[in-house]
Amino acid sequence: MKRVFLLFAIIAFNCFAQELKLNETKSEVKELTEFHEVIYQLWHTAWPEKNIDMMKSLMRPIDEGFEKIKYAELPGILRDKQEKWDEGVKKLDAIIERYRVALVKNDTTAILKAAEQLHSQYEYLVRLIKPVIKELDTFHQELYLLYHYYTPNYNYDKIKESAKILKAKMHELMNATLPARLKSKKEEFDRCKVELNNAVIKLNTIVKKKDLKKEIINAVEEVHSKYQNLEKIFD
C-alpha cells in the first residue's frame, strides 16, 4: 500500500512540475489579457463616439483591472523583460490617474487624450511580452528549459535532447519571415539568425561527448547569448 501511495505521489509531483514548467514558458500575463475587455470598450466604442458618460462608467473596471496588472507576476520566460514591464506599468498608472482627473474636471479634450494614451500604453505592454513571431517564441521556450533547468544541474541526457530540439526549431526560425511592419529590421534579423544557427550547430557537435562538460556549458551559454542578441533588435 505504501509503495502504491509513493508511486502516486511521484507521478503527481512530476505532473505538477511539468505543469509549472509549461506555465513558466508561456509568454502571457493573464491579467493583461483580461484587461483587454475594458480597453476594447474604451477604444472601440466610447472614444470614437466621444461618449463621456460611458468613459466615466468604465473608470471602475479600469481601476479593478489595473489593480490586478499591478500585482501580476511575469512568467519565468519573460524575466528579462521585468524592468521594462515595471516601467510600463508605472507609466500606465500615471495615465490612468490623468484619465481620472480629466473625468472629475469634465474636460472632454483631456478625457479623450488620456483615453488615447491609456490605449497606447496598454498596446505597448502587449507588444512587450508578445513574441514577434511564433518561431522565435517556440525556440525560446525550449532554450529556457535548457538554460535554466537542464544545464545548471548538468542533466546531460536532457541537454543532448534539448540541443537536438533546438536544431529543429532553428531550421523553422531560419525560414521565418518578419511581418511587414518590421521590414526595416530584416537585414539585422537575418544576420543574427545566422549567428544563432552557428551556435546551435556548435552545441550539437560538442554535446555528442558527455565528458566535455565545460565545453558543453559554454556552448549553451553561447546559444543563449546569440538568442539575446537576436531578441534585442526588436527592443
User: What fold characterizes domain 30-129?
Assistant: Four Helix Bundle (Hemerythrin (Met), subunit A) (1.20.120)
Closest CA to 63 of 46, 42, 83, 82: 42
Q: 3-class SS at 179?
A: coil
- H or E segment to which residue 139 belongs: helix 134-145
Cα–Cα distance list, 175 to 22, 30, 170 (Å): 26, 31, 9
Q: Is 55 left (phi over 0), alpha (psi -120 to 50) or beta?
A: alpha
Mean pLDDT across 183-196: 96
- Residues with Cβ < 8 Å from 192, sequence gap 6 or more? 226, 229, 230, 233
Planar angle of CA 51, 90, 86, nearest 5 degrees = 130
User: How much is the pTM?
Assistant: 0.76
Does residue 8 register a pLDDT over 50? no
Q: Give the tens place of pLDDT for each residue, 108-135.
A: 999 999 999 999 999 999 989 988 899 9
Mean pLDDT across 64-70: 97
Q: What is the dihedral of CA 129, 133, 134, 136, to 10 degrees?
A: -80
